[in-house]
Structure 1
């Protein structure tokens, strides 16, 4: 496949995964935490989900890179930059969950 296509797949996957914890009340959108309808998932659970999803996207990117050819070793700078980028991609979900004014 095309390297450019794989790059776009990783970027779209990262954007979806970064916003996933903020758009639902279940753990990883699969496991219900409480049966109570009024339950709101705490922020610390959302942040742990965000961290786990960062590593999942990283693994997918690693496997896609391995399928293309050579795997390049990365230093701490790479992980610092991609972690910050993942947080920037999570910003729309955070705004909609915590900063949007509720009407009614």
Structure 2
């Protein structure tokens, strides 16, 4: 029984990885930002860099932890450029 418990704890220790890290920066046309590093929640597997080219959010941008599906939705929006990635500080 002790062997099973030790093996389970060892497996958990090696399977628990560090959280993804993304740049965090939210800017508006008149308010540039200073990027910082954000530790993503365990279920968020991507980073996004979204720039709005026109409309009410023109010249605004978002760099943060971002679900890949959400980032891909931004890629499909008109007048928006979105880059999706999944490695530390890739955005």
What TM bracket, shorter-length normalisation? under 0.3
Which TM-score applies when normalising by structure 2? 0.28
Specify which structure has the higher proportion of strand. 2
Which TM-score applies when normalising by structure 1? 0.25
Higher relative contact order (CA 8 A, sep 6+): 1
